[in-house]
Amino acid sequence: MSERARAALLSFSERVDWLVARFCEAVVLLVGGALLALLTANVLARYALDSGGFRFAQELPERLFPVFIMAGVALAVQKGGHMAVETVLAMLGRSGARILLLVGHAIVIVSYVVLGWEIFGLAEIMAIDRSPVLGLPSSYGYYTLGVGTVLIIVTTLTLAIRVALIGPEAMPVPGPEELIS
């Protein structure tokens, strides 16, 4: 591969990663804020209203929480915040570590493709079930998980591209507060 093609592919993967990160950060902030506001309003409403709070306030967080979690998972993959055991990786040397990382990324991508495929299939089945208060289809949570698997696939693919082009040092390094020794 020419140096120009390598640079273009690396630039493309970084732009895609940037877009995924901004999207996930926005989702975490917006949904997290909505969850906080909703739960706070419901606590206040319990004391202020004779009805004991809002009927939808238990159901809506159940629908929003998967969105919040899946966006956070995609961010964790990008930042290297997932669980990792690096003992074998350190023993392999640079080229061995690159191969092991690429094989691991391929396994993750294939696994999430299969998982996502099954989730989207299950979501279609669950569309007939509706929540009691809001009337939302149960498929909503499954579609959220399916979109999350797509984000994880894209993020893992951009990491794999960087590892293939740069080497194992392209892997993100989590901050010290995220490490358990």
CB proximity list for 8: less than 8 A, separation 6 or greater: none
How many structural domains is the chain composed of?
Answer: 1
Q: pLDDT tens, 79-88?
A: 876 666 566 7
pLDDT band of 28, cuts 50, 70, 90: very high
Q: Which domain holds residue 70?
A: 3-178
Rounded to whole angstroms, how far apart are CA atoms 126 and 139? Answer: 5
Q: pLDDT tens, 56-101?
A: 777 788 888 888 999 998 988 888 766 665 667 777 888 888 998 8
